[in-house]
Structure 1
Amino acid sequence: MTPRLFRNLSRLWVIARVMARHDALFLLDRVGVAAPVVAAARLVSRRDAPGRPGQRLARALTELGPTAIKVGQALSIRTDLLGEEVATDLTELQDQLPPFSFDEVRRIVESELDRPLEAVFLTFEPEPVAAASIAQVHFAITHPEDSYPEGRKVAVKVLRPGVDEAFRRDLALMDWLAEVMEATQPALRRLKPSETVRTFEASVHMEMDLRFEAAAACEMAENFAGDETFRVPDVDWTRTAQRVMTQERIVGLPVDEVDHLVAAGLDPLEVIRRASNAFFNMVFRDGFFHADMHPGNLFVEPDGTVVAVDFGIMGRIDPSTRRTLGQMLLGFLTADYRRVAEAHFVAGWVPADQSVEAFTQASRSIAEPIMGKPLAEISIARLLAQLFQVTETFHMEAQPSLLMLQKSMLVTEGVGRRVAPDVNMWELAQPLIESWMAETMGPMGRLRDGMDTLQSTAERLPRILAHADRAAALLSADGLRLHPETVKAMRPKRSNAMLMILPWMLVAVLGTLLAVQLTVGW
């Protein structure tokens, strides 16, 4: 047995035990890659946990720690894997953990900024104002300087000790499980588990370096420069490093405290309009969006400006995908289901051998029951989630790059429902969508895209011709030679055969793990 296999099986056993204790093993059952481990965990663990399946799963993931919490949040949009009830319960999963000690905070800040804490900050509050799976936040005041004679009030984010090692261990397990799923569960390959894990891994990697988060905040601030309705706190780069980030402290009300907003003379409907327009501009205008706009990350300043914080989880969408999404969203809002279907086919999300008419009918069957309700009850985000449930019928592959956007839509829509429950925030954004579609898909937009493509091709043409000349010279001199790695890749693969016997290997290894447990106790 390889060390990698033993490490992954050992960690999987611990996970299965915790999930069994919360009666939440159905998740591993559904994945179908560790039946012997699941069966053994059921035998050795009592299952008397209360609540719905999704609630039990949320508690298990919380106990398992930072990676599991992030996985649960990602799964909250995968109705295609878990069903709508479980996915909905996971949306309530709170990314909160007990804070780590102030001694650790001091050690990290001083190590990262290479100065004593007192030399960096005039005051630093030892108790955190927020503690999550990745980091915790403390309030502080900087030393006086010309721009801030009394010092500047700031929020200091400090990465949790050891969190990067924990994520690396669990991501290795997730990557291995995805490989096993693709090899042993052909029906799940269209969901692209390995690509989904890689997308998740890339997101987590960005969160492990707070300089990336600071850069994301600055980029979004530039995108909204001059916007009087939405803004991003300033980053203090002199007090920012890999494990520490310092930003301007926000003075405002949490976006979901409706009574306080009204008491402050603010209109909740206008707040939601501003949040809706900001999210639309992030996605469609900029292609760079905040992927975690829950109420704890949105504040409203006294003048009504909406302010976002926490830029650890961000998403990007290329122009082509933006156009497709715009077509889909406008098609649903205007009940033009043919447009919705054609957008899927043009993007290549549905295979060309499928029927446009049948997919149009499927889109209508999902949308009409929702669209027939009052506007305030329409959930575009849930509509998209339900649309993905018909993908198996049409052999439609999952789009891991869009999962973050779908999650963000669900979270943002949830904010809208809390603040203005009688209003549909996507309806508020419809004029912006129509204007953007006219500008982007109209004659001038198509001409602009064509000119951009022509310019890009012209810039690359010399390199293309140079490579073509070189390739022709090599062929004429030596014939066609393949790189050794290419030859290796063309050989018959044996890994699938190995993975097919994994369940039997699991049984053997499980006996060893159980023996260890009985000997030393787990």
Structure 2
Amino acid sequence: MKGPHNIWRLIRTGATFERTGAMRVVLEAMNVPPRLRFAARVIGWPFSFLGLKGDPDLPPVTRALTALGPAYIKFGQILSTRPDIVGLDLANQLRYLQDKLPPFPMDQARHLVEAELGQPIDALFSEFSEPVAAASIAQVHKARVAETGEEVAVKVLRPGIVRAFRRDIDAFYLSAAIIERLLPSTRRLRPTDVIAHFEGVVMGELDLRLETAAAAEFYANTEADEGFRVPRPVWHLSARQVMTLGWAEGAPLGDNDAIDALGIDRTELGERVLQLFLKHALRDGYFHADMHQGNLKVASNGDLIAYDFGIMGTIDEYTRRVYAEILYGFIRKDYRRVAEVHFEAGYVPADRDIDEFARALRSVGEPIFGMDATRISMARLLNYLFEVTERFGMQTRTELILLQRTMVVVEGVARSLNPSINIWHVAQPVVEDYIRTNLGPAALARDLIRTARVLGRFGPHLPAAVEAALIRVRQPSGRVAERRRIPGFVWFIAGVGTMWAVFLALLHVS
């Protein structure tokens, strides 16, 4: 049943794409060879009458995904963060994908909240409004906590949404396998891994406890950031299908007239948006990965308010340092260093020519920096960079793509506030501060201390490990083997043990 069911869903999907005109757009965006484009159109045409029509006022791909339902809408949103796969033009179109659906009935929402939180809704909230927003996965109600009187936003999952998503994800995996088989050139982009990433993101969003945890972590990381605010999660009013956050009141970031009416300097606000994003990514390694105008507000005091934490980005400390060096190299026009960083990190195969790669990077950077401030574009830079890295065999790295894609979105937000903003000048102090803090002698000292702490946990095992290693190099008779050198790892363990002993002695003396 599973196989035929998925095949039927793929037929229905292809028919909808053909009927809405999206098929041609997608085939072009994926650079499908002309013969396969023609074959796909011919095969799909007889089934087009089975497809959904969608809203004729929407662009073709947006129209098709909206017609196909919540899972496809969300998949389109995820693909908007992957311009390496769909191209920048289509990624930008998908970023504005319609995510507004009719709300589900109020009695269903109240019943779900009561079932999840285990109490009558009137005992939990003194006020509970009709839906104020409805999207593909959930809808939001404004409420007031009965116990404290605090105004909150209550997010409630759509009934049956988990089952619907699991059904569609199975079909997505089948589609990815077919694409990889028919288009070997797409294997570099790892379509199956893209679906796995989508599944991980969506399944996280379908358990609102995880989104509440994401909000709580982001709240803790940014609590001291001046001019930035994250609504505080209310844990005792949150569960798998219900999430409660403090209510965020403010002007939409996409409404410049409302921002001007508050008397807020849009030039400073645009710079703050960009610098805060970079600070979160580089300092914390945890950033809001869906930072468009619809998820940002401006409070009356000028604070920037972020909400909707379904898509968050995580990058480890090593990758942060690599990314900072790449940005710093481009800012300083040190293309040789940018090339070296790519090779050192293993992003580009070691058998490629580093000088040729550096020249290719110069061809990316110089045209950008020759432009005036209003035309300097991170999107343009990334478009060129994708082309260069593909030519040199660089494998797609999801965490960097998400970071770079979010930076493009943040750049667009900043430009909507101040069209003449120079993103490189704004980014430079944040990147330089990170470089000074994390790539100098002080950073090396911190790394050594952290290494010592790790070794400290294994310290009690070191004597036994060294003794066991020495025993292994002896012959069965007990005599030390002739002409056999003690392996390097034994010297390493012994050396580490000695260093650890000296370190502890110095601490004791101090």
TM-score after normalising by structure 2: 0.83
Matched, 1:88 2:86: no
Once residues 164 and 467 of structure 2 are traced to their aligned partners in structure 1, the CA distance between those partners, rounded to angstroms, is: 47
Tell whether 2:155 aligns with 1:152. no
Structure 1 window deviating more from structure 2 (195-204 vs 303-312): it is: 195-204
Q: Quick check: 1:106 aligned with 2:110?
A: yes
Aligned match for 1:124, one of 122, 128, 140: 128
Instruction: Check the 8 A contact 1:49/1:56 in 2, yes or no.
Output: no
Pair 95,422 (structure 1): closer, same or farther in 2 beyond 3 Å:
same
Q: Which whole-Å CA distance do the structure 1 matches of 2:332 and 2:93 have between them? A: 30
Partner of residue 398, structure 2: 400
Match of 1:74 among 70, 74, 78: 78
Q: Give 1:449 deviation, angstroms.
A: 2.1
Aligned Cα RMSD in Å?
A: 3.0
What aligned pairs does 1:244-259 form with structure 2 within 5 A after superposition? 244-259=242-257
- Which residue pairs with 1:140 in the alignment? 143
The equivalent position to 1:57 in structure 2, one of 54, 61, 67, is: 61
Higher relative contact order (CA 8 A, sep 6+): 1
Structure index of larger Rg: 2
- 1:172 corresponding residue in structure 2: 170
Deviation larger for 352-361 or 225-234 = 225-234
- Does structure 2 conserve the Cα–Cα contact (< 8 Å) formed by 1:174 and 1:197? yes
Are the equivalent residues in 2 in contact too, given 1:158–1:244 (CA < 8 A)?
yes
Structure 2 residue 331 is the aligned partner of structure 1 residue 333? yes
User: How far did residue 203 of structure 1 move?
Assistant: 1.1
Match of 1:195 in 2: 193
| Partner secondary structure for residue 243 of structure 2 | strand
2:341 corresponds to: 343
For residue 108 of structure 1, report the CA deviation from its aligned partner: 1.1
What's 1:97 paired with?
Answer: 101
The percent of aligned pairs where both chains have the same amino acid is 43
* Structure 2 Cα separation of the partners of residues 43 and 469 of structure 1: 72
In structure 2, the partner of 1:43 is: 46
Structure 2 letter corresponding to 1:375: A
Give the counterpart letter for 1:138 in structure 2: H
- Distance verdict in 2 for CA 1:313–1:12, change over 3 Å: same
Q: CA–CA distance in 2 between the matches of 1:363 and 1:186?
A: 27
Q: Distance in 1 between matches of 2:154 and 2:53?
A: 38
Q: Quote how far apart the aligned CAs of 1:220 are.
A: 1.2
| Counterpart residue type for residue 347 of structure 1 | A
CA contact (8 A) 1:138 1:155 kept: yes
**Distance in 2 separating the partners of 1:361 and 1:459:** 46
- Give 1:297 deviation, angstroms: 1.2
- 1:250-300 superposed Cα distances (whole Å, 9 cap, x missing partner): 121112222222221211122223222221121000000111111121111
- CA offset digits 1:442-483 (Å, max 9, x no partner): 12112322332343355357679779979x99xxxxxxxxxx
Runs of 5+ consecutive residues of structure 1 not aligned to the other structure: 474-522
Judge which range, 404-413 or 99-108, deviates more.
404-413
Distance in 2, Cα, partners of 1:382 & 1:462: 54
One-letter code of the match for 1:282? H
Flag as ranges the 4+ runs of structure 1 deviating above 4 A: 28-38, 46-52, 460-470
Per-residue CA deviation, residues 212-260 of structure 1 (Å, 9 max, x unaligned), is 1111111111112222311211111121111111111112111222222
Contact conserved, 1:121 with 1:141, CA < 8 A, in 2? yes
The 5 A counterparts of 1:297-336 are 297-336=295-334
Alpha-carbon distance in structure 2 between the residues aligned to 1:106 and 1:23: 40
- Relative to 1, partners in 2 of residues 1:219 and 1:350: Cα closer, same or farther, differing over 3 Å? same
Query: Any conservation in 2 of the 1:16–1:41 contact (CA below 8 Å)?
Result: yes
Which deviations, in whole Å up to 9, do the C-alpha atoms of 1:296-350 show, x marking residues without a partner? 2111112211111111111100011101110111122222222222221111111
Evaluate the alpha carbon distance shift between residue 157 and residue 466 of structure 1 in structure 2; reply closer, same or farther with a 3 A threshold.
Answer: farther
CA contact (8 A) 1:199 1:401 kept: no
- CA gap 1:80/1:315 in 2 versus in 1, 3 angstroms: closer
CA distance in 2, matches of 1:406, 1:466: 44
For 1:56 and 1:110, the matched residues in 2 are separated by: 40
Task: Give the deviation of 1:196 after TM superposition.
Answer: 2.2
User: For residue 492 of structure 1, what is the aligned residue in structure 2?
Assistant: none
One-letter amino acid of the counterpart of residue 364, structure 1: R
Which residue of 2 is the match for residue 162 of structure 1?
Answer: 160
Q: How does 1:486-497 map to 2 (within 5 A)?
A: none
Counterpart residue identity of residue 309, structure 2: F
Which piece of structure 1 moves more, 299-308 or 33-42? 33-42
Q: In 1, distance between residues paired with 2:467 and 2:158?
A: 51
Cα distance in 2 between the residues matched to 1:43 and 1:346: 52
Cα drift, residue 56 of structure 1: 0.9
Cα displacement (A) at 1:37:
7.2
For residues 45 and 275 of structure 2, the distance between their equivalents in structure 1, rounded to whole angstroms, comes to 49
Please point out which of 264, 277, 284 is paired with 1:286.
284
3-state SS of paired residue (1:187): helix
Secondary structure, counterpart of 1:125 in structure 2: strand
Query: 8 Å contact 2:289–2:313 — kept in the other structure?
Result: yes
Contact 2:326 2:338 in 1 (8 A): yes
Residue in structure 2 matched with residue 501 of structure 1 by the alignment: none
Distance of aligned partners of 1:50 and 1:122 in 2 relative to their CA distance in 1, 3 Å threshold: closer
What is the rounded CA distance, in whole Å, between the counterparts of 2:290 and 2:281 in structure 1?
A: 13
- Check whether the contact 1:135–1:157 (CA below 8 A) recurs between aligned residues: yes
Q: Is the 8 A contact 2:155 2:244 kept in 1?
A: yes
Aligned residues: 464
List per-residue Cα deviations over 1:128-183 (Å, max 9, x = no partner): 2211111111111121x4xx4xx111111111122211221122222233334444
Q: 1:425 to 1:49 in 2, by over 3 A?
A: farther
The answer on whether the counterparts of 1:276 and 1:429 sit within 8 Å (CA) in structure 2 is yes
